[in-house]
Structure 1
């Protein structure tokens, strides 16, 4: 069953949903002396085409609980999982629909996108893999008993996507207490989008992608539980500044960093005190962290 286009999502769609402030799960943070959480970036995207069901299944086979994805919206108002604003890099859209450059997600209907091959670019064994809808993606994450770090990608291009996404998550059963407390984080580079998510569902854990100045961190702590910078911006002092603030759930802010594929860089980030590491090679990073922790 497809979700309704955003135009049909009424403002009361979230009425009756719990808005109690729930504490973030202990599993979502890395206490002092513990290895950071390993998050599979766009699924295990070094081993399967990114943001596909195959990628999250690959992460599952590696024993990785947490996966990360990107949510965008089609021309006819459906939510799909894709990183780039354009379909060109990770599908055969240029061959199937020539002359429609720059092949933006927002210029294609879901029916058109479902005709595309989202796997062959990565390798012949993935031929026929499709761009998943958010609905299908959530079904697979649930089937695998995985947890989700969801990114709202370029939400400024898709007015109302915050409410639409929450509505779809509710339909999928992901806004009950158990999922919200232990298995879901929503992040974005767009601070306004995160503010909107927090205003609609203050119980959901949220993260800002970027590295605000230390002086600005208190502003983000009003509606963010995480600050998630690129790994080259992480210093011990910055981690300490983030950890020194309490977020909207009255817990110390977390810091997840990205995108780390090198074992030595992962170990260094762990030494700086980060709470999570987002990686295309989750098995490599996990094993390096565990070895370092044991040593």
Structure 2
């Protein structure tokens, strides 16, 4: 997307940010609980990423929020997988040796369902499968968890926004209870997130990246969250984001990724982030605490 230039200076915006409500982490210093902890691709330090086993491991650890990645097969099925190809986390090279480069979009759902998505991580997970989006959200629902859903490379899958929302609706995830506190849809594509907001304004959305402060008013029209790499964060940037009101009438939030050490978690919590996305959710939770009633605000 082309984000229009907003006639406001960074200095002015940061000045406004000083009057923003206390961030989650700063509230922690006053005695409240810490940022929301989100299990990245499930508890992916302890189970194969984006599998149902990783969702279950997060639940076992007491983690309420899980994050996943959604892509589309050749025959139009939505599956949960991070990479645009199957090589790293499945045995696709062995099962389909003549199908290089093993792109997700070149395989049918039935073919992907044949693949072992767990052995690469450890023998205990041999036979784990790449879940469909339906299977994934059903497991999250069964575990009474919440979902931060990433649309992966949406430019490769035209119409994936509408299709994802349809699956979520069919699975009962677009009712008031879910959209009020159990679902966020995010992407590195601002166009994709804008499309989600236009199709289903009730759904909370997040933009993955670190837009210029001068561009934040534009993002605030369609994104509830700005979710950057933790290495790019400063306290002043987080405060600037918090100064803007998102499309649902609440201050915009910041969820930082991917934080896997206690020291890094304490650092970004000190910057005032609202959430931390991590492969090791137990480590982060123990380092910074977590709001027991968190709904990714």
TM-score range, shorter chain: 0.7 to 0.9
Cα distance in 2 for residues equivalent to 1:86 and 1:30: 37
Residue pairs, 1:157-168, within 5 angstroms: 157-168=156-167
Residue pairs, 1:105-184, within 5 angstroms: 105-184=104-183
Q: Counterpart in 1 of 2:85?
A: 86
Q: Counterpart in 2 of 1:33?
A: 27
Deviates more, 1:282-291 or 1:269-278: 282-291
Cα distance in 2 for residues equivalent to 1:208 and 1:30: 19
- Residues paired across the two proteins, number: 263
**Residue 102 of structure 1: CA displacement?**
1.0
Residue pairs, 1:272-287, within 5 angstroms: 272-287=271-286
**Residue 31 of structure 1: CA displacement?**
6.8
Cα distance in 2 for residues equivalent to 1:89 and 1:111: 19
Cα distance in 1 for residues equivalent to 2:164 and 2:146: 16
Cα distance in 2 for residues equivalent to 1:232 and 1:136: 33
4+ long deviations beyond 4 Å:
none
Gaps of 5+ in 2: 1-22, 29-33, 291-297
Whether the 8 Å CA contact 2:67–2:147 is kept in 1: the answer is yes
Q: Counterpart in 2 of 1:9?
A: none
Q: Structure 1-normalised TM-score?
A: 0.88
**Pair 1:55-2:49 in alignment:** no
CA RMSD of aligned residues (A): 1.1
Cα distance in 2 for residues equivalent to 1:31 and 1:184: 21
Aligned with 1:33: secondary structure?
helix
Query: CA distance change for structure 1 residues 82 and 144 in 2, over 3 Å: closer, same or farther?
Result: same
Whether the 8 Å CA contact 2:38–2:278 is kept in 1: the answer is yes
Cα distance in 1 for residues equivalent to 2:241 and 2:289: 24
**Once the two structures are superposed, what CA deviation does each residue of 1:10-38 show, in whole Å capped at 9, x if it has no partner?**
xxxxxxxxxxxxxxxxxxx8374131100
Aligned with 1:277: secondary structure?
strand
**Once the two structures are superposed, what CA deviation does each residue of 1:144-186 show, in whole Å capped at 9, x if it has no partner?**
0000000000000000100000000000000000000010000
Cα distance in 1 for residues equivalent to 2:197 and 2:81: 23
Cα distance in 2 for residues equivalent to 1:290 and 1:152: 28
Aligned with 1:240: secondary structure?
helix
Aligned with 1:196: secondary structure?
helix
Q: Counterpart in 2 of 1:14?
A: none
**Pair 1:73-2:79 in alignment:** no
Cα distance in 2 for residues equivalent to 1:152 and 1:290: 28
Gaps of 5+ in 1: 1-28
RCO higher in 1 or 2 (8 Å CA, sep ≥ 6)? 2
Cα distance in 1 for residues equivalent to 2:25 and 2:221: 22
**Residue 290 of structure 1: CA displacement?**
2.5
**Once the two structures are superposed, what CA deviation does each residue of 1:189-224 show, in whole Å capped at 9, x if it has no partner?**
001100000001111100000000111111100000
Whether the 8 Å CA contact 2:25–2:271 is kept in 1: the answer is no
